[in-house]
Amino acid sequence: MTPPPYTGRFAPSPTGPLHAGSLVAALASWLDARAHGGRWLVRMEDVDTPRCVPGADQTILTQLAACGLQPDKAPLYQSARGALYEAALQQLITQGRAYPCGCTRQDIAQAQAAAGHLRERHGDLVYPGTCRHGLQGQAARAWRFLTQAGTLQWTDRRLGPQSQDVQQQVGDFALRRADRLWAYQLAVVVDDAAQGISHLVRGQDLADNSARQIQLQRALGLPTPQYLHTPLVLGANGEKLSKQNGAQALNLSDPLAALNLAAAVLGLDAQAGLATDALRHWTQAWAERYGH
Ligand code: GLU
């Protein structure tokens, strides 16, 4: 069987300019695509409109271009793709895999307290499944995915074998949020399939989402890409670098210096000279490590 042609992507949320941490994911996804002779696409994940900053998309594209990272097609904007997310939600409803939920955060916390434990994951309470069997007179607020029980296993190309029991560890997660916005999980799965993404390379902070996304792909009859999660750049407080803990926008006056910092995080040697030569050198090194 011939493998599908390689298509990779970088999917920033335009909530601000790229910083040293986001450049690592951009560079790694670009190198992986080039090392496989594949295409590299950019997708603006602007579904969470209140968090998006006007003009940040253009800033990001300019920063990528300054670093020699040019997408092979015009970028896709998730804000223009609501109809596709709606169709996916309808498909899941028809299949009995999505249900309306009337719970507030407080309801969820109370249900958990009644069950004797407060389970949280990245600030989101693990949903105990209260509305699985109906809204019980409450108004629908969000739509949730009916997760499957059991442990899901997959292999990350860098991290190795992974497993997660989505129902136990995450719970039925939102597809459409109470504020009517489309949830990241649904948008990312629909768009990765629509763009034919065969290999997904992104920061390790997102690795935890993979099991949810694989369950959604299977429910929607979509292929599962290969995953590779890159090391994170940590801020002064030891947490993932972000605007909140002091990440600076990339300094475009010296793109090679910015690329060298990102390359070091990926375990690649520092290069001098032209950025294009450095990228060529790293593509070769990347192919030797992750080419197969
Ligand atoms: N938009 C997400 C972020 O910037 C990345 C999503 C992904 O790569 O799956 O954190």
Q: How far is the CA of 133 from the centre of ligand 1 (A)?
A: 32
The Cα diameter of the chain in Å comes to: 67
> Is residue 212 domain-shared with residue 129, that is, in the same domain?
no
Residue 284, Cα to own-chain centre: how many angstroms?
A: 26
The atom number, within ligand 1, closest to the CA of 9 reads: 8
Q: What is the span of the domain harbouring residue 145?
A: 82-176
> Is residue 71 domain-shared with residue 98, that is, in the same domain?
no
The residue written with tokens 């996916």 in the block is 88
The atom number, within ligand 1, closest to the CA of 22 reads: 4
Cβ atoms of 105 and 126 within 8 Å: the answer is no
> Is residue 163 domain-shared with residue 242, that is, in the same domain?
no
Burial of 67 (0-12, 13-18, 19+ CB in 10 A): buried
CA-CA distance, 190 to 182, in Å (whole number)? 11
Tell me whether residue 279 is in a domain. yes
The atom number, within ligand 1, closest to the CA of 188 reads: 9
Tell me whether residue 89 is in a domain. yes
The enclosing domain of 109 has a CATH number of 3.90.800.10
Q: What is the four-CA torsion angle of 55, 61, 65, 68, rounded to 10 degrees?
A: 140
Q: Is the pTM of this model over 0.85?
A: yes
The atom number, within ligand 1, closest to the CA of 205 reads: 10
Cβ atoms of 15 and 50 within 8 Å: the answer is no
> Is residue 119 domain-shared with residue 264, that is, in the same domain?
no
> Is residue 74 domain-shared with residue 90, that is, in the same domain?
no
Check pocket membership of 18 for ligand 1, CB cut-off 6 A: no
Q: How far is the CA of 57 from the centre of ligand 1 (A)?
A: 14
Check pocket membership of 188 for ligand 1, CB cut-off 6 A: yes
From residue 263, how far is each of 31, 233, 269, 274, 286 by CA, in Å? 10, 11, 7, 15, 10
208: Cβ–Cβ under 8 A, 6 or more apart, which residues? 121, 122, 164
Tell me whether residue 187 is in a domain. no
CA-CA distance, 3 to 158, in Å (whole number)? 20
Check pocket membership of 12 for ligand 1, CB cut-off 6 A: yes
The enclosing domain of 247 has a CATH number of 3.40.50.620
- CA nearest ligand 1 atom 6, residue: 11
Ligand 1 pocket test: which of 189, 202, 226, 232 has the largest number of ligand atoms within 8 Å of its C-beta? 202
Cβ atoms of 256 and 271 within 8 Å: the answer is yes
Number of structural domains, the chain?
2
Check pocket membership of 13 for ligand 1, CB cut-off 6 A: yes
Residue 39, Cα to own-chain centre: how many angstroms?
A: 18
Q: What is the pLDDT along the chain (292 residues), one digit of tens a residue?
A: 566 689 999 999 999 999 999 999 999 999 999 999 999 999 999 999 999 999 999 999 999 999 999 999 999 999 999 999 999 999 999 999 999 999 998 888 888 888 766 666 656 788 989 999 999 888 999 999 999 999 999 999 999 999 999 999 999 999 999 999 999 999 999 999 999 999 999 999 999 999 999 999 999 999 999 999 999 988 878 888 877 777 888 888 899 999 999 999 999 999 999 999 999 999 999 999 998 6
Last residue of a domain, one of 146, 176, 206: 176
Crossing angle of the two packed helices 20-35 and 275-290, in degrees rounded to 10: 70
